[in-house]
Amino acid sequence: MLNREDNELLCRVGPGTPMGNFMREFWFPALPSREFPESDGDIKRMRLLGENLVMFRDTNGNMGAIAEACPHRGASMYFGRNECEGIRCPYHGWKFDITGKCVDMPTEPEGSNFINKVRARAYPCRDVNKMVWIYMGPRAEPPPFPNYEVNTLPYDRVSEPNVMMEEANWMQNMEGDLDSVHLDWVHKRLSKDAPPPPIGTHGFYNPDPRPPEFDVHESEYGAFYSAMRNMQDGQEWHRINQFIFPFFTMISAGPTVNFRSFVPLDDHHAMLITQSAHPDQPMPPGTDERMVNAFDEVGGYIERSHDPRSYFMTVANKRNDFWLDREVQKDRMYNGIPFVMNLPDRAMTELMCSDDGEPLYDRTQEHLGTSDVYVIAVRRQLIRAAKAFRDNGSLPPNVENPDTGRVRMGSFLLPKGSDWLAETAEARLADGGQPIGCDVPLIIE
């Protein structure tokens, strides 16, 4: 449970909020590169941390993000022209480059220096391994670009991003990744011999009814934990997941690096972006297509409107109960929502709301138990970090020294009674030279 003040501080990310200011100190993913296939191509609207932006690829192929409202009289730059190293406002022709510099002001008389006094609010972007990252903070010189494995491995070892819009506060969504125990419920197959559901992955079956044992560790870049389950062969399965400031997780799901971002568009909408990477070989053929089209079996995405909150919105959504199938729920899966990417998870987190429909959960109402220990730890880390930045300007080390966040998740089968921290010390590092570990042993394909 959180008091109202901490809940607000944790969740709200608009300009001037403590958490919003904290997040703006980090580079984070904005949109997949595939949204901008060509230089001088279409301008796209985007909304991030409560700010309306337009994004575009300029003549040189570089990505730009500037405020949607033109600094002259506020016309939408979305209707502008992307031409010759900048975009020109549709209303009176003022032109801005990707740095926000006004490079042409045709309405001013010759000799006027007004052009030097006006800038568009602009944010640096980097296009790396199929993803456009953005830095929305106040520094003239952005912090070092993050060197997560998805950013440093060769291009063909990193997947296209899969993106799913979630109609809930970013922290609600991310808490699903901090909660390993839901695996035994939301994603449970009812029995080993249950017929597979007609749509989606077949789920997990664990004959051991005991909940996993958690061991949580706070770290300088965030936190990590092991959820330990006893396997029937006498071994322990340690599922180790990572949280990295401000909204990144790495969850164990097979033999790849899985990097996930919960990017807030505003307080009520966030994208879950998943990128996978293989540390030492190209991703299998077809991976990119699978990631891009992952929701096809539940109808794909709705048609986009003018509003970026409609991007990556799946056809299966809260308006149709996420395609809940009560027949499947009877005898196949614990949860009848198709297990397609994080669709069932989203049903759990999106609909956490108060009676008045406010889609930002009031955490004064909850009752946390033993299994919520990682959720509690990450909330504590985030609240502490946002307050430290608000009160004395200090930031976690992974802002200035991205190496501290070069970590990994993984699944490991260890003999009973092992010292899992010592046994996995190298495997939890991106540069530890160890394999990622085993496949999640409860998956039934």
For binding to ligand FES (CB under 6 A), which residues are involved? 70, 72-73, 75, 89, 91-94
Q: Closest distance between ligand FES and the C-beta of residue 40, in Å?
A: 19
Amino acid letter for position 394: S
Shortest reach from residue 187's CB to Fe ion, in Å: 5
Reported in sequence order, the residue ranges of 58-140 that DSSP labels E, i.e. its strands, are 63-67, 81-82, 87-88, 95-96, 102-104, 122-128, 131-135
Between 152 and 314, CB nearer to Fe ion = 314
Under DSSP, is residue 199 helix (H, G, I), strand (E, B) or coil? coil
Smaller CB distance to Fe ion: residue 88 or 346?
346
**Closest Cα partner for 239 from 263, 215, 274, 222?**
215
Q: Closest distance between Fe ion and the C-beta of residue 298, in Å?
A: 16
Residue 133's binding partner among Fe ion, ligand FES, none (Cβ under 5 to 8 angstroms by kind) is none
**Quick one: tokens of 17?**
């909020």
At its nearest, how many Å lie between Fe ion and the CB of residue 164? 12
Of 40, 179, 345, 372, the one binding Fe ion (CB under 5 A) is 345
By beta-carbon proximity to Fe ion, the closer residue of 26 and 339 is 339
Lookup result for tokens 């007609």: 198
Nearer to ligand FES, 109 or 357 (CB): 109
**What are the C-alpha distances in Å from 291 to residues 157, 176, 250, 295, 436?**
14, 20, 17, 9, 21
Q: Output the smallest distance, CB 95 to Fe ion, in A.
A: 47
166 binds Fe ion (CB under 5 A): no
Q: Are 368 and 214 in contact (CB under 8 A)?
A: no
Q: Which residues lie closer than 8 Å to 317 by C-beta, 6 or more apart?
A: 167, 302
* 315 alpha-carbon distance from chain centroid: 20
Q: How many CB atoms lie within 10 A of CB 4?
A: 10
* Residue 345, binding choice from Fe ion, ligand FES, none, Cβ under 5 to 8 Å by partner class: Fe ion
Cβ proximity to Fe ion, 236 vs 345, nearer residue: 345
Contacts of 374 (CB under 8 A, 6+ apart): 178, 179, 180, 214, 216, 223, 225, 241, 243
Closest approach, Cβ 71 to ligand FES, in A, equals: 7
Closer of 97 and 345 to Fe ion (Cβ): 345
The number of residues making up the chain comes to 445
Rounded to a whole number of angstroms, the minimum distance from the CB of residue 206 to ligand FES is 59
266 φ, ψ (degrees, to nearest 5): -160, -165
- Binding partner selected for residue 430 from Fe ion, ligand FES, none, CB under the kind-specific 5 to 8 Å limit: none
* Choice between 94 and 204, CB closer to ligand FES: 94
- Closest approach of Fe ion to the CB of residue 441, in Å: 16
CB of 105 vs ligand FES, minimal distance in Å: 8
Print burial letters for 389-418: b (CB count within 10 Å at least 16), e (below 16). beeeeeebebbeebebbbbbbbbbebeeeb
| Residue 94 binds which entry of ligand FES, Fe ion, none, CB below 5-8 Å type-dependent | ligand FES
CB under 5 A: which stretch of 101-109, 117-125, 137-145, 344-352 binds Fe ion? Answer: 344-352
| Contact stretch for Fe ion (CB under 5 A) within 21-29, 48-56, 188-196, 340-348 | 340-348
Site string for Fe ion, 363-402 (x = CB under 5 A): ----------------------------------------
Q: How far is the CB of 94 from ligand FES (least distance, A)?
A: 4
Distance CA 358, CA 351 (A): 10
Cβ nearer to ligand FES, comparing 29 with 86:
86
Cβ-based neighbour number of residue 34 at 10 Å: 13
Q: What's the Cα-to-Cα distance from 56 to each of 64, 77, 83, 98, 265, rounded to whole Å?
A: 5, 11, 10, 8, 18
Of the ranges 3-11, 309-317, 342-350, 374-382, which one interacts with Fe ion (CB under 5 A)? 342-350
Q: Name the binder of 167 from ligand FES, Fe ion, none, CB < 5-8 A by kind.
A: none
Could you tell me if 334 and 321 are in contact, meaning their C-beta atoms sit under 8 angstroms apart? no
Shortest spacing between CB 68 and ligand FES, in angstroms: 11
Residue 121 binding result from Fe ion, ligand FES, none, given CB thresholds of 5 to 8 Å by partner type: none
Could you tell me how many residues of this chain bind Fe ion (CB under 5 A)? 1
Distances in whole angstroms, Cα of residue 426 to Cα of each of 384, 407, 408, 420, 432: 28, 9, 10, 11, 5
Query: Among the residues of 312-414, which ranges form H helices?
Result: 326-331, 343-350, 373-392
Angle of helix 170-177 versus helix 343-350 axis, rounded to 10: 130
Query: Considering only CA atoms, which of 363, 396, 378, 272 is closest in space to residue 23?
Result: 396
For ligand FES, which is the closer residue by CB, 75 or 315? 75
Question: Which residue, 58 or 175, is less far from Fe ion as judged by CB?
Answer: 175
For Fe ion, which stretch binds (CB under 5 A), given 8-16, 78-86, 324-332, 337-345? Answer: 337-345
Residues binding Fe ion (CB under 5 A)? 345
